[in-house]
Structure 1
């Protein structure tokens, strides 16, 4: 079901329109009238002739036309029948405001019946138990709470929290809202449905998503691809920790690649930004809605840490702000490139003698308020080949003298003048949120400048504009994995459950991956014989589908030879399964490679491995499918990447072999329908990689 008519209605009816002040039915009608909704408005009430001057009829079927949108403001028990009536009459969709559905145990059957009627009649439903939908651009508040009309703009909000939606509509941060959706219980429509529909609406340039659950990964990835097709950027705030799947709970992968991290990996594939609170969410969405995009010379080298050749220029008149901004940029992974020699020389002609050209660019308070000079130094710095977005710090006190206001106005005029000369994004951020008053923010917005409240938020938002545009084809390939066929009957993965280690390694060898030489042995004499053939110290392991973490039950003995093999065999034998004897391979940097398929989308996981995997929590997630080039780029973002690159007397590890191994494991998991693969540790050496331990779970 497509909610197109519901999101941009040309006619509205309020079912349960009421003359009682304070009721949803009364407020919904008042909102439409006060907002100046341009289309016909009707009320449905058994006896009233009008509410707030809006004509009423007794039943939906008595309406003179089938409206695009209904606001159903009646008690919960009446809703399923009204949904059926509305669907039969040809209405475009409905917002259900009532509570008393699946948010309480006894309301589940009622919500199921509501959903059944909606699907039977193909009627899109927003809610129940939500605040509704506000189409700001169409002056159409389908909203049960009080609503004050506001300036429309390019930012849409989809929220699984009613309060986040309410607060966005009440905000005074120059947030130009296009459409606001309070999802409620999502009995029929969910966030992916709204995202898909919003991607097709004129005027939407960014979408803020507040999510309390991840939803259907296939549909979400498809919706993100639709947004990418229309150059719509995404900001996401995910609240709450999702429970881990049963398969993930049995492995390290679950603790380092939980559902929220998988969702974040998908959002980042879509060029989206990740927020940690509602304030960041709205500031990011506002920033991403700018029509300006950074253009950087293709000859600019890529920064090794951020994997981008688009950097941010920070401009301030405060040394303290400059230092703090630099620290925040490092913490948030935002690149502040060094300015080129030509830029530094040109800045020397504009800056006061007390200032030094650099990035951050502290022009000092000596020239604060000089409009032309401020504009010149911003323009010169912004035209450096490595610079994309420009971030200027500016604080506006609420109260000041007339003379002080003249100086502050001059500084702001300089920023506005510079922005008029540039085609890249310009952000003005205050160091403290309260020092970005609404009047200043709106003035900046009128000149195409993004106003952001907060020093850290300024860095975060500027960094979000350095992310490369998303690849819709890539997103659709991720979505296709989620809807792909199950493994065929000939595939070994039709047998579900955990795989013994020796069988798991046979699967890896079949894919051309390196594992230690070894063999399953029948008895202690066989163990001694195999150990002798392998030469040198060996490892003995219990290999069983029921043992995933051998060290927990002493099912692993390392580095034994000679008679010690006999004792080791005695310790391991009897713990279940068979005994595997393997050579001790040359050590290297220990890495974890894993695949998780039971999350939002299937992901490949690479992390610093061994016993450190959960302690250091150094991990990258790559949605599948993923080739070796994509994996290698991700691996270089690990904090532990210097261990792999080498230096200080350490030889470099074979990062390419690691990337190829990981890509092969990802392909194997998809081909074989494996729910979980965890290879830990994988030794990365200068001459290649070896998978030392393997845990695999076949899919059902």
Structure 2
């Protein structure tokens, strides 16, 4: 996609000057943006449209260019698209943008399959169909069917290194209109994503010069292995991520959310937050130190302190030396604290604010500074200069100490040029940038495991509990001391079975629990403890009566499961499963507390004992659990699940010992 995403030569197929058409608007966008590369149209009869030379076919257009085109915009009807794509691929073009609808989104899957076949025949990257387009701000190339106005080339509103990958054309329109496209590097609207999908776009942007952060707008759940690979690409390049995922209530996916969290993606709730969080991510270096907030408003300082707590951002505790040096420079009405309100007495005093911000930035506990300032729009230039001088002093102070100063406006619509709009967005980004960077090797391992998933999930078979525990035992997971006594044939008496089970119980040591372990039934209900051989014999008779209707095949794999009692402890349920885009382990409290609290933690697989224990520790009610033992056992379960042929494996652990187990094997 490198040529398509930063084109130097463009052909617009279906060129026209008809007002409101995507082809005409694309030509106008390119001209207004000052695209400096080659631009030719394809029209069957006209030699020029809107000042752009035209030829009747793609081959003729390339002759005018004198080279093959990096990007081909196909603005024709759906029926003609596959042939144009095949020709573009045959002629060696870099890629294509297809505006037309009338494919899968309208029910015509065959039309989309023909488009995909034409593209894949020549390895041609295609955006769409049904896309709003692609905008490369750095190349001044808005291949977009709606009006786009990029900042002037000499503008201070240029490129912050923010890219957007969106599965919604509407979100792309909002991004391009938001603050006059300030800071945007690239916008990719995927449309139907028939050829180029979210993982493909994300991977190429991670390798694109100048991209520092990517906003993801997701409507669908991507292929897990390819998404994890793309996230690993971003982690290697230190390209930061913010994500807005729609349909979460209709189709929740904790596994996808957990995967994105491991990749360091900051979750967002609406488009404004998505764009501004991405802007903040692009602006500040990672730091493990605390954050300082500087402002001229007591209200902003108080609000920033509250919101920092909500976001989990640690505000730096200023040292005594820092406070003393600040007091010497601040007005008498100001107090040397963090957040710091320097008051309006220093308004437009750039030199003093440079000293104050430098003093804060030099504190050993400060890793970054947020300078909070709103600037009302439409100010007289003389008034605006005062706002600029105030925040410029803060910026220079941070630069002197090589500490990032992020200007933040609290009120949308009152952002100074280059500032982040919204304290919540800025602080969400800072929370992520204070966390350890995502691990590309771990993400690559998740991708490798997900790539082994069967394309079509085969049917599964529910093992009997005693069989599941045997598998756990072989994998090194501690299980309760137990005995397995086969179910007798129907023609044998109950007495022999009762004797065998009672003997097994005596060898384990009373009290014990006893239940029937039946394939296809999962874990049996909990049973009261039995304190003697006589009670065991009575329970055997009761269980045999209930098993009288089992068929011959099921009886062969059914057994009495006699177990020692579990030591008291906090039960934790570990569910290894393949119900999301990647295999994962979902952790919850076992028993009634798990049902009451309803909280879970999800860890993509593979995962080691330490990672699982950390996830379990974040659940309420686990403070007294033996998390080291739980992590060790769950780590072995995770490895067993990844390497074995299981669709699902559920284990309840108490003190690291498997108390209950249920497994579905892939048949």
Task: State the TM-score, normalized to the length of structure 1.
Answer: 0.83
Looking at structure 2, the residues matched to 571 and 313 of structure 1 have their Cα atoms a distance apart, in angstroms, of 70
What count of residue pairs does the alignment treat as equivalent?
Answer: 634
Q: Are positions 1:283 and 2:290 aligned together?
A: no
What are the residue-to-residue correspondences of 1:466-615 with 2, within 5 Å? 466-484=434-452, 496-521=460-485, 522=487, 523-548=497-522, 550=524, 555-562=525-532, 565=536, 574=546, 577-613=558-594, 615=596
Gapped regions of structure 2 (runs ≥ 5) = 152-157, 488-496, 551-557
1:694 is the counterpart of 2:658: no
Structure 2 CA distance for partners of 1:571 and 1:274, relative to 1, 3 Å = farther
Matched, 1:121 2:89: no
In 1: Cα distance, 2:408 partner to 2:475 partner = 52
Task: Report the CA distance between 1:182 and its aligned residue.
Answer: 0.3
* C-alpha spacing 1:390/1:524, structure 2 compared with 1 (3 Å): farther
**Structure 1 residue aligned with 2:256, among 245, 252, 263?**
263
SS of alignment partner, residue 557 of structure 1: coil
Q: Does the CA contact (< 8 Å) of 2:5 and 2:136 recur in 1?
A: yes
Contact 1:315–1:391 under 8 Å retained in 2: yes
Residue 629 of structure 2 is aligned to residue 657 of structure 1? yes
Match of 2:191 among 166, 184, 193: 184
**What is the aligned counterpart of 1:426 among 374, 390, 405?**
405
Determine which of 385, 397, 400 is the counterpart of 2:376: 397
Contact 2:460 2:647 in 1 (8 A): no
Alpha-carbon offset, residue 388 of structure 1: 1.9
Quick one: structure 1 residues 315 and 677, their matched pair in 2 at CA, closer, same or farther if it must change by over 3 Å?
farther
Q: 8 Å contact 2:398–2:405 — kept in the other structure?
A: yes
- Partner residue in 2 for 1:206: 213
Q: Is the 8 A contact 1:294 1:425 kept in 2?
A: no
Label 1:242 to 1:410 Cα distance change in 2 as closer, same or farther (>3 A).
Answer: closer
Structure 1 residues 363, 584: closer, same or farther in 2, change over 3 A? farther
| Residues 603 and 623, structure 1, Cα contact 8 Å, conserved in 2 | yes
Distance (whole Å) between structure 2 residues aligned to residue 85 and residue 657 of structure 1? 62
Determine which of 60, 79, 100 is the counterpart of 2:81: 79
User: Max radius of gyration: which structure?
Assistant: 2
Instruction: Provide the residue aligned with 2:171 in structure 1.
Output: 164
Q: Quote the Cα distance in structure 1 between the aligned partners of 2:55 and 2:542.
A: 83
TM-score, length basis structure 2: 0.87
SS in 2 for 1:171: helix
The Cα of 1:547 is off from its aligned counterpart by: 2.9
Tell me whether 1:461 sits opposite 2:429 in the alignment.
Answer: yes
**Aligned-residue offset at 1:567:** 6.3
- Residue in 2 aligned with 1:16? 14
In 2, are the aligned partners of 1:192 and 1:219 still within 8 Å (CA)? yes
Check whether the contact 2:126–2:196 (CA below 8 A) recurs between aligned residues: yes
Q: Offset of 1:202 from its aligned partner? A: 1.6
The question of whether the paired residues in 1 share the 8 Å contact of 2:138 and 2:185 is answered with yes
Query: How many angstroms apart in 1 are the aligned matches of 2:522 and 2:300?
Result: 51
Equivalent residue runs for 1:106-145 within 5 Å: 107-145=108-146
Paired residue for 1:380?
A: 359
**Residue 27, structure 1, aligned to residue 25, structure 2:** yes
Q: After the TM superposition, which of the residue ranges 147-156 and 35-44 deviates more from structure 2?
A: 147-156
Partners of 2:175 and 2:181 within 8 A in 1: no
Query: Does the 8 A contact of 2:90 with 2:122 survive in 1?
Result: yes
State the shift of 1:599 in Å. Answer: 1.9
Q: Aligned pair in 2 of structure 1 residues 88, 569: CA closer, same or farther (>3 Å)?
A: same
Output the CA distance in 1 between the equivalents of 2:339 and 2:595.
Answer: 35
Q: 1:315, 1:392 within 8 Å by CA — same for their partners in 2?
A: yes
Distance 1:404 1:55 in 2: 48
Deviation of residue 9 (structure 1)? 1.2
Q: State how far apart, in whole Å, the 2-side matches of 1:504 and 1:80 are.
A: 52
Q: 1:134 to 1:405 in 2, by over 3 A?
A: closer
Superposed CA offset, 1:292-335 (max 9, x none): 4245xxxxxxxxxxxxx432223345555444434433333323
User: Following TM superposition, by how much is the alpha carbon of 1:366 offset from its aligned partner in structure 2, in angstroms?
Assistant: 6.1
Q: Matches of 2:378 and 2:453 in 1, distance apart?
A: 65
8 Å contact kept, 1:540–1:581: yes
Any idea what the Cα deviations from partners look like across 1:73-111, whole Å, max 9, x if unmatched? Answer: 111111112222222222221111011110122x11100
User: Over the residues paired in the alignment, what is the CA RMSD in angstroms?
Assistant: 3.0
Distance 1:211 1:170 in 2: 20
Unaligned runs of 5+ in 1: 245-257, 296-308, 446-450, 487-492, 646-651
> Within 1, Cα distance between the matches of 2:522 and 2:339?
50
1-structure distance, mates of 2:590, 2:150: 54
